[in-house]
Amino acid sequence: MQYFPVFIDAEHLSVLIVGAGEVGARKLELILKTPAKVTIVSPWVSDTVKQLVAQHSLTLHERKFEDADIFTHNMVFVATDDPQVNQHIHDHATAHNILVNVVDNTPLCKFITPSIVDRSPIIIAMSSGGVAPVLLRYLRQKLESVIPAQVQRLGRFSEKFRSEVKSRLGSVTERRYFWESVLDGDIAETVMQGNEAKADMDFANALDDFTQQDNTQGEVYLVGAGPGDPDLLTFRALRLMQKADIVVYDRLVSPAIVELVRRDAEKIYVGKAKSKHTIPQDEINQLLVDKALEGNRVVRLKGGDPFIFGRGGEELETLVDKGISFQVVPAVTAASGAASYAGIPLTHRDHAQSVVFATGHLRDDTINLDWPALVQKNQTTVFYMGMTGLGIICRELIAHGMSPNMPIAIVASATLPHQRVVIGTLTTIEELVKTAEIKPPALIIVGTVVSLHDDLHWFKPQLD
């Protein structure tokens, strides 16, 4: 993030605009939305600027820029058509630690003005750092269409009651919970409809009710993060991630998904890799209990689906024993995500009428599975956590009657930009994986459906 986004209090801001053509006029119109004091310096003034000066009683000096002009200002916009003048003012302002923006010349900008969605007092500002203005304009149009104009009423309504809520609810967490209940409910709709009297009365009742509730115990949300691509998150998962006070996440949750968690939530990593537990499962279970008993909303974020080889059931049993309330949010499981992004249907009328999920996790250097059940005809078998035991899996499948030429796929980092797929047979796959230097996380798909990969693969990984 090259540009740090901030909102500056314009109450006592003094802005100098050098240049009074149409480019300068655009910046002037933007600044005039604030209470900032504005001075304009330019030997030539466009009709638009003249009108704005007359309407707002602005200070205008119809002359060339002088070095002394900057010293009574906090911020300078440079909008001349002379590159040498622009460079000079930039250098001069920078030398005196005054924020300067040379319009349409990003390298000469110590700050940049964002694209704005204005629903004052609600302001949404976006920036591409000057590299994609058309994309930024497109995103702004999208936001303008989905954010109701009446949301400004909610902003003013929140301001009116902010002090009262702060005085009656002692903790930041309590206040946030209360405001979320207001904004998610009927009160917000009443405000946006303009029925302020009813909204005021409903708000007072809601605040009274909330202060009488027992808010000392929190809740746990067991949330599936899917196979890795953030676009595969459910709406509910994203909403709860944004509500969380604490997020407990594992190794298979991609950084891009962790980035979507509420910014000021506490994030606790409890990753596990190849039977090497950073935190034992019992301690994770107790951690969820302890954090909920402190009154927090706790999201337990798991890669894939929490109820498929995710130990979600074990964690919920502990919560039930301790009387902690919880919710479960299912997700695209890793097998479905990996198969879809590799172009391998898990079922197909000509290949497989059933699919089996199995764990390839080693215990005492063995994999204890019902091997005869895994070698049935017209069946696809998917192994989770099986890379360490890949050789054992292939040998046991062959030993129990599966053809040595059965197609097998290894899908690593499924759904992510660096996804890799290796296709072979039960007799060749070990060497192919070794040559390709495939590392976990990866899933193993066994069955004739793998032969469809060549025709059906659609996802184009961004490999180096």
SS (H, E, C) the chain: CCCCCCCCCCCCCEEEEEEECHHHHHHHHHHCCCCCEEEEEEEEECHHHHHHHHHHCCEEECCCCCHHHHHHCCEEEECCCCHHHHHHHHHHHHHCCCEEEECCCHHHECCCCCEEEEECCEEEEECCCCCCHHHHHHHHHHHHHHCCCCHHHHHHHHHHHHHHHHHHCCCHHHHHHHHHHHHCCHHHHHHHCCCHHHHHHHHHHHHHHHHHCCCCCCEEEEEECECCCHHHCCHHHHHHHHHCCEEEECCCCCHHHHCCCCCCCEEEECCEECCEECCCHHHHHHHHHHHHHCCCEEEEEECECCCCCCCHHHHHHHHHHHCCCEEEECCCCHHHHHHHHHCCCCCECCCECEEEEEECCCECCECCCCHHHHCCCCEEEEEECCCCCHHHHHHHHHHCCCCCCCEEEEEECCCCCCCEEEEEECCCHHHHHHHHCCCCCEEEEECHHHHHHHHHCCCCCCCC
Point out the least confidently predicted range of 58-62, 146-150, 198-202, 359-363: 359-363
* Tens-place pLDDT, residues 27-45: 999 999 999 999 999 999 9
250 catalytic per annotation: yes
pLDDT at 276 over 60: no
pLDDT at 363 over 60: yes
Give 440's pLDDT tier (boundaries 50, 70, 90). Answer: confident
Residue showing tokens 């980092």: 413
- For domain 151-212, give the CATH number: 1.10.8
pLDDT at 464 over 70: no
How is domain 219-332 classified at the architecture level of CATH?
3-Layer(aba) Sandwich (3.40)
Give mean pLDDT, residues 241-261.
Answer: 94
Q: Which of 69, 229, 245, 250 is catalytic?
A: 250
Give mean pLDDT, residues 243-266.
Answer: 93
Contact (CB, 8 A) for 400 and 372: yes
SS3 label, residue 425: strand
Point out the least confidently predicted range of 46-50, 143-147, 232-236: 143-147
Percent of the chain with pLDDT over 70: 97
Contact (CB, 8 A) for 424 and 408: yes
Give 237's pLDDT tier (boundaries 50, 70, 90). Answer: very high
pLDDT at 364 over 70: no
* Tens-place pLDDT, residues 370-419: 999 999 999 999 999 999 999 999 999 999 999 999 999 999 999 999 99
CA 352 to CA 323: how far, in whole Å?
A: 43
Per-residue pLDDT at 130: 80
Per-residue pLDDT at 446: 98
Give mean pLDDT, residues 115-130.
Answer: 89
Treating both helix axes as pointing N-terminal to C-terminal, what angle do 47-56 and 22-31 enclose, rounded to 10 degrees? 30
Q: Which of 110, 243, 267, 272 is catalytic?
A: 272
Q: Kindly report the average pLDDT of the chain as a whole number.
A: 92
pLDDT at 459 over 90: yes
Taking alpha carbons only, the member of 45, 50, 56, 48 closest to residue 19 is 45
CA 346 to CA 62: how far, in whole Å?
A: 74
- Two structure tokens written together for 375: 């070698």
pLDDT at 120 over 80: yes
Q: Where are the domains of the chain?
A: 14-113, 151-212, 219-332, 337-456
Give 172's pLDDT tier (boundaries 50, 70, 90). Answer: confident
Q: For the domain with range 14-113, which CATH number is right: 3.30.70.1230, 3.40.50.720, 3.40.50.300, 3.40.50.1820?
A: 3.40.50.720
Class of domain 337-456: alpha beta
Give mean pLDDT, residues 321-344.
Answer: 96
* Tens-place pLDDT, residues 202-226: 999 999 999 988 767 789 999 999 9
Instruction: Report the amino acid identity of residue 203.
Output: F
- Two structure tokens written together for 271: 């990753």
> 151 CB contacts (<8 Å, ≥6 apart)?
119, 122, 192
